[in-house]
Amino acid sequence: MTADTLRRSPLGHLAAVFAEHSTPAEHSIAGERGARLREVPFLAQLDVQLEPHGPAARRIASALGAPLPTEPNSVAEAGDLRVLWLGPEEWLVTGPDGSAAATAVLLGAALRDGPGSVVDVSANRTTLELSGRCAREVLEKGCALDLHPRVFAPGACAQTLLAGVNVILHQVDAEPTYRLLVRGSFARYVSDWLLDAMEEYRHAPLTP
């Protein structure tokens, strides 16, 4: 038995519940009122802190093949990695399951002995993915951010509160699809809140 076989995501036991409460993409209602929820477990997550315009930042940009984003709340893509701006000198690099160790080595080698840090925080959060035509309306029930596409579009991210819980919110595409990175200890609460907020979109609207 290996460490991988012993891994348990905070919400792995709820996969069937998420499927039951989500509107299938092909459902006749989905084009108008669809919302779907799933967990994306075990994403690689590395916290990077350094001076954004110094030599270390340039070396890391070269190693990634993409510059660190300096525009607030923006995201850069580097192959299968995404680099989320968290602050003037802080980023979160996310990637597929199993990529954390190699990415940490890559970024650590680029940092060298310069001022800054690269820390694997993959175990700190899990990821919920909310998608469908009504995903924005679901989030707006508990998030004070303006999520209108004019303001918050694909490639945007923000640290915010959802139902009183700190999350990192990242819009992945225009469907819209959002990823919510949430601490494991709050994951069940946030998923329960989202399922409740999604409930009205499982049904056709009432007609007079």
Q: Which superfamily is assigned to 11-40+125-202 in CATH?
A: Probable tRNA modification gtpase trme; domain 1 (3.30.1360.120)
Residue 61's pLDDT band, with cuts at 50, 70 and 90, is: very high
Predicted local confidence at residue 202, as pLDDT: 77
Main-chain phi, psi angles of 64, to 5 degrees: -75, -30
| Residue in 173, 11, 193, 190 with CA at minimum distance from that of residue 82 | 173
Q: Give span(s): CATH 3.30.1360.120, the chain.
A: 11-40+125-202
Q: Give span(s): CATH 3.30.70.1520, the chain.
A: 44-120
| CA–CA separation, 52 and 7 (whole Å) | 35
- The whole-model pTM stands at 0.91
Cβ neighbours of 207 (radius 10 Å): 4
**Rounded mean pLDDT of 5-19?**
89
Q: Which superfamily is assigned to 44-120 in CATH?
A: Heterotetrameric sarcosine oxidase (3.30.70.1520)
Sequence-ordered list of residues with C-beta below 8 angstroms from that of 193, at least 6 positions apart, any chain: 142, 162, 163
Predicted local confidence at residue 204, as pLDDT: 64
| Residue in 71, 76, 184 with CA at minimum distance from that of residue 126 | 184
| CA–CA separation, 112 and 109 (whole Å) | 5
